[in-house]
Structure 1
Amino acid sequence: MTKLLLIIGFVWPEPKSSAAGSRMMQLIDVFRSNDYNITFASTCAKKDNAFDLSSLEIQQVSIELNNSSFDEFIKELNPEIVVFDRFMVEEQFGWRVAEQCPDALRILDTEDLHCLRKGREQALKDQSVFNKSYLFNEVSKREIASIYRCDVSLIISEEEIEILKNQFKVSNHLLYYLPFLTEPLSSEAKRKLSKIKEREHFISIGNFLHPPNYDAVLFLKSKIWPLIREKLPKAEIHIYGAYASEKVNQLHNEKEGFLIKGFTDDVNFVMQNAKVCLAPLRFGAGLKGKLIDAMTNGTPCVMTSIATEGMFGGFEPNGFIADEVQEFANKAVELYTDKIFWNGKQKNGFLVMNARFDKQLFVSDFIYKINAIQNNLKVHRLDNFTGQMLQHHTTQSTKFMSKWIEEKNKNN
């Protein structure tokens, strides 16, 4: 029997622009393959890179903030499940969903822990060691409240599950580990990939609207690349990413071999032609789509420990991990020039992909979990008094603020 699902998107999914866009399309694929009739709604304007959801027979609806038209829309739709794409969306629409469709299962897809990323960013700016005082920030107060108000939150990284349980004391029954869900890498697909002798240059990739990616490019340009270039004077690094601003493009320097390439329509093609991927992230959270792309395409990496968080579990990484500038540069040169190391690290990546991110390992258990919660929703919610309390107070405060804004907009 067809079931109704509403996804409220922070933005319209752009799988070619960001890991978040890829993640959303993976979730959509899971629900579609399990006979859900999907409606995707967002307040955001569509950009050129947005995926055409109508090609998947998904209804697309534009919705407004602080407007009771959403109440009428969702009441008529009457979905069995509502997925909030990031906590900010749950803040805006969660109380309306709870009022109009109280029996709908509310799922939060965190994408990554925003409070963790923000705290690490501030610690970096302060040149301080990241600790609880940075983790327990203003964003965390909002984000953890959102997790409690929902029936279950999808967490993309095992590291973040542990942070939520140990640092924030969130109950395990409100959390569900669901990483990137990828197609298994077949032996034939691996054989078809370019060998080391057929590849050249370094690559770095990431959406430039995402602050950790822009910071990584600046760090690469100012600190790391000059050390690599000193030992490999003919090497180039090709920097890819959507939404490159003028300040990003100004980093382009052909004489230094530092080339800003901007948006690529085919990440697999550019990754397969590169010899080594560099991911010198200094802050961030969640899982890194760039590392998934690199492993899928057989491109070994040099990466910081921040970049590797939640990626490898007990498996060997698909490259080297280094946080100190000189060591990072040395490992990049070593991986670039040593065929034995390169081949070994590539094989590690293939193993990690199939052992940790093959979607077949997760999908059936996820759907079972969703059905189990739905079938016992009242009992499930009774075990989450904190969530009920936060829902009550949020509804009172957010509801009347939103209605005040709506009336104010009518009078303008």
Structure 2
Amino acid sequence: MYPGNAPFASASRNTKPRGQAMSAPAKRALLIAKHWPEPASTAAGRRTLDILDLLADAGYRVEIASPAQPTPFQAKTGYGEHPIEVNESSFDRWVRALNPALVIYDRFMMEEQFGWRVREQCPDALTLLDTSDFHSLREARHQALKSGQPLNLFHPIAEREVAAMARCDLTVMISKVEVELLKQHFCLPDWQLHYLPFMVRELPDLNTLPDFDERQHLVMIGGFKHAPNRDATTWFAQEVWPQLRSLLPGVECHVYGAYSDHAMHRLSDPATGLRVYGRTEDALATLARYRLNLAPLRFGAGQKGKILDGWLSGTPTVTTPIGAESMAPEDAWGYPLSDAPEQFAATTAHLYRDQTAWRSARDAGTHALETEFSYAPHAAAFIERLETIAADLDAHRNRQIWGRILRRTEHRAEEFMSRWIETKNKMTDT
């Protein structure tokens, strides 16, 4: 009924022209991205561009480099964009000439691939790791869910991710929960971590958005390259929807997501009202047509863009404890958080039918936006943190004994593997 194909516009993005003339040469900020940012496909892509916009506002000249293939859905950022290759020394000459003052690694894999090269060619560049979410925590929760075993945080991926954090000057975390986890369980110091959530420049005007009686049906949204979204859709279709249908006869649930595939579309059952679509033209406009937004996440990490978009569109969200984590306190949702199918279905039915409860949940979301996600204080604190570190980078690095140890020769496996692959490739070519 409501399928679409074009990317959506984020209400939290800054849309002013970039690259404006400056009276003095701008410092360069280089993002080394795992994928070209796709704000219409993933919340991570939108957050990445929000950070780049913030840096541009602060006077940086922003450049993006990525080894990924271009896609039809990547953003037209207006920033410098540069294709790069892994295991290729041409990157060394290029980054040395670029001479960035700030280098941001988009997830720990990019630090592993390019961090040692940046350290050699641009030793004075401040290096920052943006985890997007704590990848290791998400993976640990996924394995615990599949195996039924207790959560194991200390696995090989965690070792790699925390090592990348130690090698960088600062790690940006989107979740306060994950900041505390890194401090308590992985012994990372507070001065090496910075909390930077989703940032919202303007609050929604609820008076201009459809009210309870103007909305109908349920909606789910989230890119299907993200394993938690695939699991949530499957679990909802198999465990929750059969119960919810009996509680809300005639109500449909429409699922939207970038990169939908055959496995996801097989869950669609128009006879029962469950419909799985692909991309939506505009996430906020789409969400604003529905009465409730569902986020039945059973594992994951970080903050959840689908919940943020629900709040921005004035659409209350029913979620689980994992979904609620790092978004708002457990007692701030207006309903009991649960990942039990029966309770999730009962909560959804109650909010769908009860206008007072619906408005209470909607207002709670708006309050969370106002108190936790306001752009100005978070942007100012982030830029101040960067400037403080850059003002005495040597002293900052001298405090990072484990980072210094991990940068020594005997702990440089990624560098030597990359050099070996590059040499092998050259021998093969000749």
Instruction: Provide the TM-score with structure 1 as the length reference.
Output: 0.96
Q: Is the 8 A contact 1:300 1:318 kept in 2?
A: no
Query: In structure 1, how many angstroms separate the alpha carbons of the residues matched to 2:346 and 2:161?
Result: 39
Query: How much has 1:277 moved relative to structure 2?
Result: 1.0
Query: How much has 1:317 moved relative to structure 2?
Result: 2.1
Query: How much has 1:262 moved relative to structure 2?
Result: 1.3
Query: How much has 1:397 moved relative to structure 2?
Result: 2.5
- 2:153 matches 1:135: yes
- 2:236 matches 1:220: yes
Return 392-401 or 192-201, whichever deviates more.
Answer: 392-401
Query: How much has 1:316 moved relative to structure 2?
Result: 1.2
Q: Is the 8 A contact 2:334 2:357 kept in 1?
A: no
Partner of 2:328: 312
Which one of the candidate residues 267, 277, 296 is aligned to 1:251?
267
Instruction: Pick closer, same or farther for the CA change 1:394–1:198 going to 2, 3 Å.
Output: farther
Q: Is the 8 A contact 1:231 1:333 kept in 2?
A: yes
Instruction: Pick closer, same or farther for the CA change 1:329–1:313 going to 2, 3 Å.
Output: closer
Return 322-331 or 150-159, whichever deviates more.
Answer: 322-331
Identity %: 38
Runs of 4+ in 1 over 6 A off after TM superposition: none
Query: In structure 1, how many angstroms separate the alpha carbons of the residues matched to 2:45 and 2:393?
Result: 29
Query: How much has 1:76 moved relative to structure 2?
Result: 0.4
Query: In structure 2, how many angstroms separate the alpha carbons of the residues matched to 1:166 and 1:337?
Result: 43
Q: SS in structure 2 opposite 1:262? A: coil
Partner of 2:379: 363
Partner of 1:267: 283
Instruction: Pick closer, same or farther for the CA change 1:305–1:41 going to 2, 3 Å.
Output: same
Structure 2, unaligned runs of 5 or more: 1-23
Q: SS in structure 2 opposite 1:204? A: strand
Q: SS in structure 2 opposite 1:239? A: strand
Partner of 2:179: 161
- RMSD value, Cα: 1.2
CA displacement, residues 57-115 of structure 1 (integer Å, 9 cap, x when unaligned): x1110000000000000000000000000001000000000011000000000100111
Higher relative contact order (CA 8 A, sep 6+): 2
Query: How much has 1:322 moved relative to structure 2?
Result: 1.4
Partner of 1:322: 338
Partner of 2:404: 388
Which one of the candidate residues 41, 48, 53 is aligned to 1:29?
53
CA displacement, residues 209-266 of structure 1 (integer Å, 9 cap, x when unaligned): 1001000000000000111101112010000110001111111110011100111120
Partner of 1:379: 395
Equivalent pairs, count: 404
Query: In structure 2, how many angstroms separate the alpha carbons of the residues matched to 1:26 and 1:62?
Result: 21
Query: In structure 2, how many angstroms separate the alpha carbons of the residues matched to 1:37 and 1:293?
Result: 29
Query: In structure 1, how many angstroms separate the alpha carbons of the residues matched to 2:382 and 2:411?
Result: 29
Q: Is the 8 A contact 1:301 1:320 kept in 2?
A: no
Query: How much has 1:314 moved relative to structure 2?
Result: 7.7
Query: How much has 1:191 moved relative to structure 2?
Result: 0.9
Partner of 1:400: 416
Which one of the candidate residues 298, 316, 322 is aligned to 1:282?
298
Equivalent residue letter for 1:74: V
Structure 1, unaligned runs of 5 or more: none
Query: In structure 2, how many angstroms separate the alpha carbons of the residues matched to 1:317 and 1:146?
Result: 35
1:13-412 equivalences under 5 Å are 13-53=37-77, 56=78, 58-130=79-151, 134-185=152-203, 189-313=205-329, 316-317=332-333, 320-393=336-409, 396-412=412-428
Q: Is the 8 A contact 1:82 1:104 kept in 2?
A: yes
Query: In structure 2, how many angstroms separate the alpha carbons of the residues matched to 1:39 and 1:345?
Result: 40
Equivalent residue letter for 1:82: V
Instruction: Provide the TM-score with structure 2 as the length reference.
Output: 0.92
Query: In structure 2, how many angstroms separate the alpha carbons of the residues matched to 1:318 and 1:366?
Result: 32
Q: SS in structure 1 opposite 2:288? A: helix
Q: Is the 8 A contact 2:321 2:330 kept in 1?
A: no
Query: In structure 2, how many angstroms separate the alpha carbons of the residues matched to 1:281 and 1:61?
Result: 35
